Structure 1
């Protein structure tokens, strides 16, 4: 189950998941929002700070234009460097969190430009 302030999901008694999407989804149900999974992105230490992650992010947003409304990434909560790059640096919006196999992940999203 995804839980959070910006996007929220709940599991109904019948096991179906429902929820609402932020960051370009305008609070609509997750199932009605066209989204694109972004990542993972790994930049070699020698090349960090040179705009490579920003270039990849911008290119992905441009490529998603007209095909998706929201670009979504999952970041392991212990990976503070990735959180800093994606949320603080690239401006992605935190949408919620989920647990998988005992590991916590944050869900972040960015609105894709219209075609």
Structure 2
């Protein structure tokens, strides 16, 4: 059964939008204000806060596929390889949780800044 929306396509769109954001911030630097940057950082923090769930769910589905014998890995036991990858995805999720915590202070400080 095919999914209605390809998750890889959604991830590519998010990546491409972040790339656009990088260009806008760099190219329009003089036209930006502290409030605009504050809102931008708030939304980036919210984005990062959602990454742990994305990594966790990806790991869960990968493990489910391995349990259903739907994963093949050349020269390795698929379940062992999947277990390793799932653990690494969960570790990445924990790292993104830490990043979200680290964004709290600058996000709060920017929230208090106005522009002229």
TM-score by length of 2: 0.26
Structure number with higher relative contact order (C-alpha < 8 Å, ≥ 6 residues apart):
2
Larger radius of gyration: 2
Of Structure 1 and Structure 2, which has the larger fraction of its residues in strand? Answer: 1
